[in-house]
Chains A and B, each alone.
Chain A
Amino acid sequence: MPGMLDVTRETGWVGRAIERVEDAALLSGGGRYLDDLGVRPGTLHMAILRAPHAHADIRAIDTAAARAVAGVVAVLTGADVARLTAPLVVGVKAPVECWPMAVDRVRYVGEPVALVVAQDRYLAEDALDLIEVSYETRPAVVDPLDALAEGAPLLHDGFPRNLASDRRFRYGDPEQAFAQADRTVSISVSYPRNSCTPIETYGLVAEYDPHEDAYDVLANFQGPFSIHAVISRALKVPGNRLRLRTPRDSGGSFGVKQGIFPYIVLGAVAARATGHPVKWIEDRLEHLMASVSATNRATTLRAAVTADGRVTALDYDQVEDCGAHLRAPEPATLYRMHGNLTGAYAIANVAVRNRVVVTNKCPTGLNRGFGGPQVYFALERLMQRIAIELGLDPLEVIRRNLIPADAFPYRTAPGALLDSGNYQATLAKGVAEGGLAALRARRDAARAEGRLYGIGFAAVVEPSVSNMGYIATVLTPAERRKAGPKNGAQATATVAIDPVGAVSVHVASVPQGQGHRTVLAQVVADVLGLTPRDIRVNAEMDTAKDAWSIASGNYSSRFAAAVAGAAKIAADRIAQRLARIAAAQLNVPVEEVVFEGGKLRARSNAANALAFSRVAALSHWSPAQLPEGTAPTIRETAFWTPPELTAADEADHINSSLCHGFIFDYCGIEIDRDTAEIRIDRYVTAHDCGTILHPGMVDGQIRGGFAHALGAALLEEFAYGPDGSFLTGTLADYLVPTAMEVPEPVILHTETPSPFTPLGAKGVGEGNCMSTPACLANAVADALGVADLRLPLSPSSLAPLIHGAEPAAPAGIAAPTPAPSGGKGERLMRGEGKAHVRAAPEAIWAMLLDPDTLAAIIPGAHGVSRVSDTAFRADVTLGIGPVKGRYKAEVSLSDLEPPRAVTLRGRVEGNLGFGGGSGAITLTPDDTGGTHLAYRYEAFVGGKVASVGGRLLDGAAKVIIGQFFAALARKAAGGSAPAPSLLSRILAPLTSLFRRRAP
């Protein structure tokens, strides 16, 4: 800061891995997470009914039965919400509306359709079951490239061909570079959907004051607080009538809790409609299915290369899948990396086509890495392909293209200003200290034994401190001119001194477990010559009282670089004034004042000293004694935004982030030839994140990011059926790494301070999410000698690469049926079985056509009514795993050959899912007056049942159908049908297997 005193520091807390001030409470059950805080008396609880279909029109919603339940206070539908709110802002210029609750039409499984507010959460969830929604399904589209195809189902009329944005960019002269290139190397990749899934789910408590028309919301939101404007606009109040607060502790976010904002709108509306505070805690199924997801992306990337492996141009074709709605700040995932599309390399010519499409999947939003994993998976896989196609060493190709160490600050072709770095030095340190030579020897030895061993590399630039203006790059320069310039990254911090000279720090950083309070205490303690214990940091956020701006919050790894820097600036300003006050009393020039050991003293005479608290308290007790021209030291708020973060220019150059760390990763992996399991032999990650403020936390961020990336690379994917059914609704289906899968990476550091940040620090929290998936995939490609890889690298996806396609069945043995799918791709099951019943076929025939008998033998049936001679209707309560609910069933009989054969077809539909099927039954008399009964069925299921019970369904089908016939047999033999066993109750939804929708 020009004009700033260089206050001499003789202590050094910054840079030390001190114990965190946060931890004692968190380790003793004293955390203050949202759901730990208690609520005002009279607070009601919200539960949300969600769409079982990926794409359907809502024909009717009947909430009468739900409203009638004792304890239920309100039931709201999309129409109610739309009456009280305005649509959520959409990030592109298009005539589309985005609501937090479906209005007329659902576009993804899990989209909110109605909400219940009741006296407790249990009652609210009960009442969801009683809401009847009538849907008319539409065809769904799941894949982003399919969504662009001619004739694909359209999600929004305002997005023709499902295309929300289509922009082309050109930097340098890519056409000429490609024309002159020795070779062109290209790669096409599909980056899958995943999420960092914090262990604490979304939660909020909302209140409404009708007299002031003001909302007060406590939520585990994480920022950016630009979203505050989106929420207040949706609630149709000015920003000063939306007080948004965050609790002290948050159970992780990784970007994900940005996505709570549509639910803040719902909670606020529920509070307004009921006149009570309303609390909502999301459950895990809701979180996995419908909170938010990273984008999946289809990328084709071409490189123009010289014969010696120099890349002279890149040509990106990126198709970004933002799910069913383009929610703020999307399509930011696509543009966060825009300045960094050349990665760590000096590549002067770049062509880009960026398309944003909508599909019938959960809307996307912030997620650790945010666009980086998608870009680097393409770029770093391509670098390996270049080496292979040119017959070069992959590491050598990386080396030859790195930005020269003397070129910083370096402007990339698309406009990023890379602040500092020495990529060659970091790489050299990684190679030497990480033990690459030994790893290569291990690979040679393993391969000599015929084992599948590979080494992969990745070199990435990790951007941090986002330019709030990068998102505007999705707009054309003309549209940007109209919208007005957007840029910067305002960070704020306040340092306050109380009447006894005790120091507090307030920041709008919304920590989610990173330890901000500890680091801020270190930073401020250093400035003021105190210890971290002397500093009390409050990182709770309150938009009604705190200094904040649109960039506030916890994202884009901005804490160390921006927020801690702002705290240093605020502390420096206070220190400057304290030094003036002390100088007058110590009779020394102000430059001679030293802050040390809780004292302000003369540099040359330690005995000439004043207690810090005495100087610090002066502004409270005796402001008249302040030296002339010295402002009080009671409170200082610093706003800091880096001048480097300018708006996109007319040629679409954008400095999308302020800081740029560098990561060089490599790893050795072995793939088991039999099981196709990947074992990580060694993973080396060499970082340069500028000045390290707290080594323990920096390594913690690296390890945590590495674990997330390992999950994304090997295990995690939000899986959807072709019909848009969501298939990974539990943590037993959506697999995240456990302690068994995550090895300790070898972490190495070089420190090249950023010249653009007050402390020289850069972000470090997201880099491995960018580098590690590509690095692991490159190692797998090296081990298997394959070019095309899709994440996650599960054993089932690698097995065909090792063993080839499944060979034909040996002669005489039936080939296994390939996993079947329903007409629209639902989960489909087939089976058959036999039973013997001690009754004549005629008696059984009569039973099958008798509603009372059916009611007695179908588990969970509340009653079966006859619609016609061959059609029945039933209400059934079915439970599978954690999903229990009521369904309506319609059954018809056809192909009747009394008393020999009949086909039952039917369909069940409920809020938890839908299903259907057909069962062909044949009755053959035996010699003893009994009947041999044979059946063959086909069934499909979709909706919530499919997303949480998928693994159980096939085996369960066999059991439940056997039980149905066992009950039939007992009934036929004269006994009453037994109560269903526990197992049958768990598996009961499979009674739906007897019913099938007419084809």
Chain B
Amino acid sequence: MSTGHQRLKGPGFVTPALIWTFAFFVVPFLVMGTMSLATLEGRTLVWGLSLANYAELTEKAYLWRAIMVSLEITLTVTVVSVILAYPLAWIIAYRIPPRWQRLALLLAILPFWTSYVVRSYAWLLVLAREGVVNQTLISMGLISEPITLANTRFATVTGFVHFFVMLLTLTIYANLVQLSPNYRRAAMDLGASAFQTFRHVVLPLTLPGIVTGAFLTFVLCIGDYVTPQILGGNTELTVPQVIMVQLGRRADFPLASALAIVLMAIVTLVYILSARWLRLDRL
């Protein structure tokens, strides 16, 4: 078969997917970028090349605050989730007998497949004033009055951590089991303690998996609207919540677009910072 013939055929297969991605992802993204440079005068949209929306981010306290809140929550969630997920993945990979590992992993991440909305609502049940946690603590006599758990940053972080612990357990477990057991054996054979083996051998070797999982956590967490909206209430707003406010009440598409671009810029920055260790192709 001639290469000329092949060269004609390859694009034929790729074109439909490319057209789809181009029409419904690249073009909307470019339009959104252009939109972020437009302004709203009264209720009419004025196209242009204005940086007014971006200037507003620093000028208006609530916008800047939203960016900070989003960053704080996302970083907290990412760090806490990694710290909680690593031991879980470790136990499943190294303490549970191989024939039960797949089942244990499946069970550990089963609630991962619930919808965001349902999962956040379920946490509301647990954390509400009359909810499971308060009622349990009261009946145990540990507290006399219900404590405020729902509609706080704590609730938002809890809901997020629940989801991302499962995601990270999956990525870290995958990383741990593909390590040759001989690395750990070699380290111990050469006199390393269990902690030294972890510190000098296993942790550095699983760093790409951790960074990849943490990056995914960051991307999904900072862009999520549902969890902070249901669990955090309106005590403080994250960037996605502010975007939705702009779309709903004021139909301020230019400002919403600028905020979306800022979100993407943050994600891109994090991508560049972690690119050295990222293995997105290994997922």
Q: Tell me, yes or no, whether A binds B.
A: no
Residues of B within 8 A of A (CB): none
* A contacts, CB < 8 Å to B: none
